[in-house]
């Protein structure tokens, strides 16, 4: 099968797809020295191994990939061959332009905005786990190749569908893979640690479920059974617990505390805090400081 390298601005096949920076099918019969240097990924790259054993640097970690493995490299991640070598074997890849590091899937997608956001969250939260074995990706890459080369009727829509399909199966496999290797108590502990370290982040249930390697519905039921709270209420409890610690210190103003722990405003923080503790943050701080001074 002939090799193929399509690049934006130089390949007419990509004229209708400004979001596709590069599409390639490459077959190496010899080891290529100094041809795969490690550098920062511009856009998002999805690489699929057809043949061979490949040692790659992704982010700060070395990975060994075999046929059927797929690697997703997010914008700004290091990527390249270990020792700058491209090994014997064959690969297919697609590199896509991104609007920003948060918006990984562009407006070309036919997914709903909510679905796109969910997939982007799953990829971002699991950015260190984006080497997966997904053999079902192979026919998608070959169909992409066919659509781009032959431009048959409806090819523009079909290309968008295939790219969407790729993102969907990657995220679903990521969730299944994470779930199969974690017991829930351990996973929940890790999730709580991560939430505590990033309370300012606007976590969604989908994002937390992705971290736990579960679907949203199953995750919500599991958290309710395990903690007695819905995922978002559990997160609010963590935020209020952290707020209590910060209010007791006395040196940080209430608005800064509210923003630091993930509330949209001091009013939102104050309302939630009073609902859960019976005091406004200011009342709590005043009472607590007065109590400490009397000790």
Domain boundary among 152, 178, 204: 178
What confidence score (pLDDT) does residue 290 get? 58
Q: Which domain CATH number covers 192? A: 1.10.10.60
Q: In the chain, pLDDT over 90 holds for what percent of residues?
A: 49
Are both 156 and 277 inside the same structural domain? no
Whether residue 292 lies inside any domain: the answer is no
pLDDT at 172: 87
Q: Domain boundary at 178, 209, 243, which?
A: 178
pLDDT for 181: 58
pLDDT at 10: 95
H, E, C per residue of the chain: CCCEEEECCCCHHHCCCCCEEEEEEEEECCCECCCCCCEECCCEEEEEEEECCEEEEECCEEEEECCCEEEEECCCCEEEEHHHCECCEEEEEEEECCCCCCCCCCCCCCCCHHHHHHHHHHHHHCHHHCEEECCCHHHHHHHHHHHHHHCCCCHHHHHHHHHHHHHHHHHHHHHHHHHHCCCHHHHHHHHHHHHHHCCCCCCCHHHHHHHHCCCHHHHHHHHHHHHCCCHHHHHHHHHHHHHHHHHHHCCCCHHHHHHHCCCCCHHHHHHHHHHHHCCCHHHHHHHHHHHHHHC
Residue-level pLDDT at 285: 87
Q: Which pLDDT belongs to residue 102? A: 75
Say if residue 189 is in the same domain as residue 172.
no
pLDDT tens-place string over residues 272-294: 999 988 899 999 888 876 555 55
**pLDDT at residue number 31:** 80
Residue 286's pLDDT is what? Answer: 84
- pLDDT computed for residue 182 by the predictor: 62
**In which residue ranges of the chain is pLDDT below 70?**
1, 178-182, 289-295
Whole domain around residue 193: which residue ranges?
A: 183-287
Q: Are 238 and 280 contained in the same domain? A: yes
Q: Answer yes or no: do 165 and 271 share one domain.
A: no
Whether 34 maps to a domain, the answer reads: yes
Q: Is residue 295 part of a domain?
A: no
Domain assignment present for 8: yes
């Amino acid at each position: 099968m002939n090799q193929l390298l399509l690049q934006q601005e130089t390949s007419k096949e990509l004229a209708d797809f400004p979001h596709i920076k590069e599409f390639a099918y490459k077959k190496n019969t010899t080891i290529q020295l100094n041809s795969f240097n490690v550098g920062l990924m511009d856009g998002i790259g999805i690489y699929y191994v057809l043949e061979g054993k490949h040692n790659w640097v992704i982010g700060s970690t070395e990975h060994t990939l075999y046929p059927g493995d797929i690697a997703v490299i997010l914008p700004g991640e290091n990527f390249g061959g270990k020792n700058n070598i491209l090994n014997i074997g064959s690969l297919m890849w697609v590199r896509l332009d991104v609007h920003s590091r948060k918006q990984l899937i562009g407006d070309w997608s036919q997914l709903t905005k909510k679905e796109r956001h969910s997939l982007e969250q799953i990829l971002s939260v699991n950015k260190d786990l984006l080497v997966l074995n997904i053999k079902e990706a192979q026919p998608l890459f070959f169909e992409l190749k066919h659509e781009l080369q032959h431009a048959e009727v409806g090819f523009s829509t079909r290309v968008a569908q295939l790219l969407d399909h790729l993102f969907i199966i990657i995220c679903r496999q990521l969730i299944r893979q994470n779930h199969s290797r974690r017991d829930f108590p351990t996973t929940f502990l890790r999730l709580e640690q991560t939430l505590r370290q990033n309370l300012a982040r606007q976590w969604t249930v989908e994002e937390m479920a992705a971290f736990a390697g579960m679907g949203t519905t199953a995750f919500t039921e599991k958290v309710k059974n395990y903690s007695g709270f819905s995922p978002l209420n559990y997160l609010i409890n963590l935020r209020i617990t952290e707020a209590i610690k910060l209010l007791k210190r006395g040196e940080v103003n209430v608005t800064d505390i509210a923003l630091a722990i993930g509330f949209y405003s001091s009013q939102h923080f104050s309302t939630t805090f009073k609902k859960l503790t019976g005091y406004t943050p200011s009342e709590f701080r005043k009472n607590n400081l007065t109590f400490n001074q009397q000790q």
